[in-house]
Amino acid sequence: MQILKDRLDELLEKAVQSGAVAGYVAGVSRGGECIALARGTANLNTGAPMRVDTRFHIGSVTKILTTHLLLNYVDAGRLDLDDLVVTHLPSFRLREPGAAERLRVRHLLNHTNGIDAECFSPMDENGPGATRDYVEKLRDFGTLFGPGEAVHYSNPGFVVAARLIEKMSGKTFNRALEDELFAPCGMTQSCTSVEQAVLHSHAVGAFPDPATGKLRATLSFMLPASLAGAGATPMSTVADMLRYGEMHLAGGRTASGQQALATEQIEAMRAVTFDMRSPNVPPVGLGWWKVPVSGVTVYWHGGTTIGTTSTFVVCPELDLVVVAGGTGPGANALHDRVLLETLAHLGHERVVPYRRTPLTRPMSDYAGDYLHYPMHLRVVNVANERLSVQGDWRVMDEAMFRSLVWPATGEALDKFNRRFAFDGGSLYEVGLSPIADGLFLPDGLNDEAMCGIHSRIGLVSFHDAEGQPAGAHTRLRFMRRAD
């Protein structure tokens, strides 16, 4: 493992020196042997160094934990994955009559519920009622497709799942997570509140300064508490997340011998529940995405919070866990390099996740407008078998602005009303080159760059097969065709 550690350390050092990453911490466990390494600065406000025991926001990796908690109640017989959600949350409603009443519990955990509220970030309630308030406000939102018809990355689905956990446990989501998962899994350095975070070394997100281009600390520490179940509040360390991943590899049994999650539920999380059959949308189980990488199968989830991203991988066939957290715009690319380098060290070289095939459809088939809350994409057919895509916000209320844009820019809401989430840039525009019918590569990228996970989900695919809703897919988000 020392050879691997030296290779990874070199990758981290180069990324930090390039200015793309402020700080980065990573860990690998193989057969119970662990390495951990850290580079850069944890907090650009104070200059505190990133350490191997520095806490970081795990973001949407939380969705694995939310799934775990809910499946414990399934295992106890208190609910079933095929139960209608309204059986347990009778007041749950969406804007379209009958839409909420058709959703089943499993649709919350595999991103097939179709709720069109992915960036909804209410801030009216930040206390114990934040999750309940979020779910109540979903009555103003519609759907992109019917239950089980497609995949659309679903923060709202996991907030509704968190509300189910609150109803089952009689606790807030954060308290249930601490009592029913962190404690039995021995995750003693993990927490869910700012009050706990300040007692220990903790990473603060970083963005490029709009004026200088140099990295600076985010202006906000945490996403709204209403998104706790989707990833706003949980923070962890490399050691704790490696421990948690090892529990998954051990069939739900912790190092201390406690059965934290039934083996049957561990297997249920990995079993494919829906497959869009597109390289940029991995098959999804319950919580986990099942991804082929370098000739092996890994179970993965990533996370994005304010200026911080994370990655979490378990690979049963290699008895492997990889976890990392980084701050700055280059962290996702580094996540991919860390995983690919680890797999190469174990004898598994990079594999491009698609084959280029001759085109049979004209580019004009894809031109049009595509929508989801809060984004609008306009796809334009241009010369030489290429597409141009422009994206902008259809909606930007004050709460969304304060949670998604202001932390990076510090700009006033009325100054910029067209922003793309988290990057601090204005109108989103990119050219696309075809790989095959319905599958496109964004400009500036090549086949080799798509071998990782965080990169390949940025491919753009178009879907209009019989029995499927017509739309476009990128970064795990579905956008309904509007024309």
pLDDT in tens, the chain (483 residues): 999 999 999 999 999 999 999 999 999 999 989 999 999 999 999 999 999 999 999 999 999 999 999 999 999 999 999 999 999 999 999 999 999 999 999 999 999 999 999 889 998 888 999 999 999 999 999 999 999 999 999 999 999 999 999 999 999 999 999 999 999 999 999 999 999 999 999 999 999 987 888 999 999 999 999 999 999 999 999 999 999 999 999 999 999 999 999 999 999 999 999 999 999 999 999 999 999 999 999 999 999 999 999 999 999 999 999 999 999 999 999 999 999 999 999 999 999 999 999 999 999 999 999 999 988 889 998 877 899 998 877 777 777 777 777 787 777 655 444 444 334 344 568 899 999 999 999 998 999 999 999 999 999 999 997 777 899 999 999 999 997
Q: pLDDT value at position 78?
A: 97
Neighbours of 253 (CB within 10 A): 17
Taking the C-alpha atoms of residue 340 and residue 28, their distance in angstroms, rounded to an integer, is 12
Q: pLDDT value at position 412?
A: 64
Q: pLDDT value at position 427?
A: 52
- Asked if omega into 374 is within 30° of 0 (cis), the reply is yes
Six token digits for residue 324: 């990392």
Q: pLDDT value at position 84?
A: 98
Q: pLDDT value at position 240?
A: 98
Q: pLDDT value at position 417?
A: 46
Cβ-contact 431, 387 below 8 angstroms: yes
Identity of residue 28: V
Cβ-contact 399, 117 below 8 angstroms: no
Taking the C-alpha atoms of residue 76 and residue 138, their distance in angstroms, rounded to an integer, is 29
Nearest to 175, CA basis, from 191, 155, 164, 187: 191
Six token digits for residue 85: 């959600």
Residue count (the chain): 483
- Report the Cα 46 to chain-centroid distance in Å: 28
Q: pLDDT value at position 420?
A: 41
Q: pLDDT value at position 262?
A: 98
Cβ-contact 109, 153 below 8 angstroms: no
Q: pLDDT value at position 425?
A: 40
Taking the C-alpha atoms of residue 232 and residue 228, their distance in angstroms, rounded to an integer, is 5
Q: pLDDT value at position 364?
A: 92
DSSP state letter for 442: E
Taking the C-alpha atoms of residue 63 and residue 301, their distance in angstroms, rounded to an integer, is 8
Strand order through the sheet with 308-315: 48-49, 33-43, 23-30, 320-327, 308-315, 296-304, 289-293
Cβ-contact 327, 407 below 8 angstroms: no
